[in-house]
């Protein structure tokens, strides 16, 4: 009798899995270079050393470790010319080491192009809740995308930087990205949304990239027992200046059959400022009381523009409490941190 009940229960669970789209079996894990080359995806026929997963669009984890040949692109999930997805979510790319080559050429191998990382990438897909973690001494010479969808939405994705990675001179960190030529899809403006819920989390110092785009939230995880006054966490080298609240500017495709008035309205909506939320979290309990520790959250030698300063922070954690106030000049956003140990 017990065996019969257990069998029935197992059959019910299996049937539920089928009805739920086999989500119990969704998701794959691949590791480079241990598992060899990944799938050729997104139709990049000439990218013989791209790496990723195209046989599953949800719940994948892709690791890149040191020791392999430089890669052109890495995808947590990606479409092929024949395999398409409506939704790509909950995929993760973890770059522990190794080299991803630049969009032009990499100085040690002029045949290598690309060098970018995608949490997930599709053509007309909802790309959401994906994560890219770059850490260790990785060398990422291309761009980093929490997600990409040419004509869909790219929302609630996260990019995390930790350790001591090196980035290229032209590297831009994107929360989300789509086509920069806005068109109409089923009567709606596409791509739809490449900003909402996208988060950049900086968990180390001296992160040097050209710019950051299409993030709704910036989180600075400050190791207060290690950083010193005036240490720089995020350094942006864009010589044209940096505006954190500005999305990547788009234009309307000439193929869109709409009036000039409609085009103007679309551009106004798509290029409107982002209400950026900036947060500071202490990385671990302080070893002692901290008074007026001033760190540079964002440095932009080409100029930094913010519409308004972030709101002051006051939090109580286990064993300590802390406050953060913000200051700004023409090139820097500062955090002034005070922390007190409590019983």
**Most confident by average pLDDT, 14-28, 95-109, 169-183, 194-208:** 194-208
What pLDDT sits at residue 10? 46
**DSSP secondary structure string for all residues of 266-326:** HHHHHTPPP--EEEEEESS--SS-EEEEEEEEEEETT-EE-SSPPPPEEEEETTEEEEEEE
What pLDDT sits at residue 106? 41
Answer whether residue 320 shows pLDDT above 60. Answer: yes
* Residue of 210 and 69 predicted with greater confidence: 210
What pLDDT sits at residue 48? 56
What pLDDT sits at residue 70? 82
Phi, psi dihedrals of residue 233, rounded to the nearest 5°: -90, -55
Asked if residue 11 belongs to a domain, the reply is: no
Answer whether residue 250 shows pLDDT above 60. Answer: yes
Answer whether residue 281 shows pLDDT above 90. Answer: yes
What pLDDT sits at residue 230? 96
What pLDDT sits at residue 134? 97
* Helix/strand/coil percent split, the chain, to 5: 10, 40, 50
Tens of pLDDT, residue by residue over 19-67, are 444 443 469 999 998 887 655 555 444 455 678 888 899 999 999 999 8
Question: Could you give the percent of the chain with pLDDT greater than 70?
Answer: 83
Lowest-confidence region among 110-114, 141-145, 169-173, 215-219:
110-114
Asked if residue 117 belongs to a domain, the reply is: yes
DSSP E strand boundaries for 47-195: 51-52, 61-64, 73-75, 87-89, 92-95, 99-100, 116-118, 121-122, 126-128, 131-134, 139-140, 144-145, 148-149, 154-155, 158-161, 166-167, 172-174, 181-185, 188-190
Asked if residue 71 belongs to a domain, the reply is: yes
Asked if residue 27 belongs to a domain, the reply is: no
Asked if residue 122 belongs to a domain, the reply is: yes
What pLDDT sits at residue 15? 42
Bond into 33 cis (ω within 30)? yes
What's the mean pLDDT in 277-303? 97
CA 28, 32, 38: angle at the middle one, nearest 5? 60
Q: How far apart are CA 248 and CA 271, in angstroms?
A: 7
Residue 265 DSSP class: H
Q: How far apart are CA 51 and CA 184, in angstroms?
A: 31
Phi, psi dihedrals of residue 64, rounded to the nearest 5°: -125, 120
Asked if residue 80 belongs to a domain, the reply is: yes
By the 10 Å C-beta count (0-12 exposed, 13-18 middle, 19+ buried), 65 is classed as: middle
Going by their DSSP bridges, the two strands 332-341 and 290-300 should be labelled as antiparallel
Q: Which residue has the tokens 């890495």?
A: 74
Sign of the dihedral defined by the CA atoms of residues 174, 177, 179, 182, in that order: negative
Question: Could you give the percent of the chain with pLDDT greater than 90?
Answer: 60
* Residue of 191 and 48 predicted with greater confidence: 191
Asked if residue 312 belongs to a domain, the reply is: no
Asked if residue 24 belongs to a domain, the reply is: no
Q: How far apart are CA 43 and CA 328, in angstroms?
A: 45
Answer whether residue 16 shows pLDDT above 90. Answer: no
* Residue of 25 and 151 predicted with greater confidence: 151
pLDDT band at 12 (very low <50, low <70, confident <90, very high): very low
The total number of structural domains in the chain stands at: 1
What pLDDT sits at residue 19? 40
pLDDT band at 114 (very low <50, low <70, confident <90, very high): low
Domain residues for the domain of 110 are: 35-288
Instruction: Provide the whole-model pTM.
Output: 0.87
What's the mean pLDDT in 227-256? 92
Radius of gyration for the alpha carbons in the chain, expressed in angstroms and rounded: 22
What pLDDT sits at residue 165? 96
Lowest-confidence region among 97-101, 125-129, 169-173:
97-101
């Amino acid at each position: 009798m017990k065996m019969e009940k257990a069998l029935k229960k197992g059959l019910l669970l299996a049937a539920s899995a089928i009805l739920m789209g086999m989500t119990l079996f969704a998701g794959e894990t691949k590791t480079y270079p241990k598992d060899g080359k990944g799938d050729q995806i997104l139709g990049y026929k000439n990218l013989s050393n791209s790496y990723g997963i195209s046989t599953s669009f949800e719940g994948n984890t892709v690791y890149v470790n040191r020791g392999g040949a430089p890669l052109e692109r890495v995808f947590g999930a990606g479409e092929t010319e024949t395999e398409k997805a409506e939704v790509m979510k909950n995929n993760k790319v973890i770059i522990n080491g190794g080299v991803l080559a630049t969009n032009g050429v990499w100085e040690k191998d002029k045949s290598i192009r690309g060098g970018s990382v995608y949490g997930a990438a599709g053509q007309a897909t909802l790309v959401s809740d994906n994560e890219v973690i770059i850490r260790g001494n990785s060398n990422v010479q291309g761009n980093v995308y929490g997600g990409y969808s040419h004509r869909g939405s790219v929302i609630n994705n996260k990019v995390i930087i930790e350790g001591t990675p090196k980035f290229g001179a032209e590297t831009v960190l994107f929360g989300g990205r789509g086509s920069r030529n806005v068109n109409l899809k089923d009567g709606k403006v596409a791509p739809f949304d490449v900003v909402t819920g996208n988060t950049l989390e900086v968990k180390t110092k001296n992160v040097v990239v050209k710019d950051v785009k299409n993030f709704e939230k910036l989180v600075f995880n400050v190791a207060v027992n290690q950083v010193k006054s005036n240490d720089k966490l995020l350094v942006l080298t864009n010589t044209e200046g940096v505006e954190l609240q500005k999305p990547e500017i788009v234009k309307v495709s000439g193929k869109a059959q709409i009036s000039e008035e409609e085009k103007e309205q679309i551009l106004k909506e798509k290029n409107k400022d982002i209400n950026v939320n900036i947060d500071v979290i202490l990385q671990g309990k302080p070893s002692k009381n901290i008074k007026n520790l001033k760190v540079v959250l964002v440095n932009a030698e080409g100029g930094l523009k913010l519409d308004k300063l972030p709101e002051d922070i006051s939090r109580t954690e286990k064993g300590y409490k802390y406050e953060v106030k913000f200051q700004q000049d023409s090139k820097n956003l500062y955090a002034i941190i005070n922390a007190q140990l409590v019983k």
